[in-house]
Amino acid sequence: MAANGKNSRRKKKRHIKKGPVLIAVILLLCGIGWLTYLYHEQIINKAKDIPNSFSYPTDYEEYVIRYSTKYKCDPVLVFSVIKVESGFNKDAVSSVGARGLMQLMEDAYDWIKYRLDDQRDNTYDDMFDPELNIQYGTYYLSYLMEKYDGSVELTAAAYHCGMNLVDSWIENGTVDPDNFKVSDIPDENDQTSNYVRKIRRAYDNYKDILSSHGDITENS
């Protein structure tokens, strides 16, 4: 009888120890689940307050801000170009071989590397690296914006079809740089016309989305 009493007390003790632990584990899991739910609800609700926030993402913001500041470029334009060019796919390759987030061609890469006097051992293959691609693409945009007196449309046109062609339009009077109209772009360059319209649309949307994001738009 004494042995049975001890066994009974031992079993009871074990039961008492397991009960609070089990309850604590359940409460902990419930708490984690609730916090996770609240977190996702907060993210979703915050996104709902920003028009087109899912359609117009701001991935790689750290690099965009860093190099927009360094090269005095409009970060809203950089986001717009990434959106239109690659849809934020760092591994994107176009039908003509342009690479990375900002879809730089090899001749543009070589020109930018020379202009920057970049002595690093990077090659065109490194255009799939987000930071390097954004650095080079942002520098190129800053150069074009300065060349075309801050015109988003002329900058976009030159980014798409090259400075030489845009300069020829200006020189022969096809387009007026002081009163540029997309409709003035020659019909044979309709792909560039469509590209400029896409950049303008993305630019306007990003401008609205980021208008309350001071650390981004203060550079624009």
Q: What is the mean pLDDT of residues 5-22?
A: 54
Under DSSP, is residue 104 helix (H, G, I), strand (E, B) or coil? strand
Distances (CA, A) of 178 to 91, 149, 173, 208: 37, 9, 11, 25
Specify the pLDDT at position 29: 61
Q: What is the pLDDT of residue 37?
A: 44
Q: Looking at the annotation, which residues are catalytic?
A: 85
Cross-strand pairs, 99: 93, 104
> Which residue in this structure is represented by tokens 């993402």?
57
Contact (Cβ atoms closer than 8 angstroms) between residue 159 and residue 130: no
Q: How many helices (H) and strands (E) does the chain have?
A: 9, 0
Instruction: Give residue 26's pLDDT.
Output: 62
Q: pLDDT confidence of 54, banded at 50, 70, 90?
A: low
Distance of CA 50 to the CA centre of its chain: 16
Tokens encoding 109:
């890469």
Phi and psi at residue 71, to the nearest 5°: -105, 10
Q: Please give the pLDDT value at position 193.
A: 98
Structural contact between residues 98 and 105, judged by C-beta atoms closer than 8 angstroms: yes
For the chain, what percent of residues have pLDDT higher than 90? Answer: 68
Q: Could you report the per-residue pLDDT of 69-96, keeping only the tens digit for each?
A: 999 999 999 999 999 999 999 999 999 9
Q: Give residue 175's pLDDT band: very low, low, confident or very high (50, 70, 90).
A: very high
pTM for this entry: 0.74
**How large is the average pLDDT for residues 136-160?**
98
Q: How far apart are CA 173 and CA 44, in angstroms?
A: 50
Q: How far is CA 181 from CA 140, 148, 164, 177, 184, in A?
A: 23, 14, 18, 9, 5
Most confident of the following: 46-50, 73-77, 212-216: 73-77
- Structure tokens belonging to residue 22: 């089990």
Q: Which residues pair with 93 in a beta bridge?
A: 99
CB atoms within 10 A of CB 70: 12
The token duo for 136 is 């080079």
Residues facing 104 on adjacent strands: 99
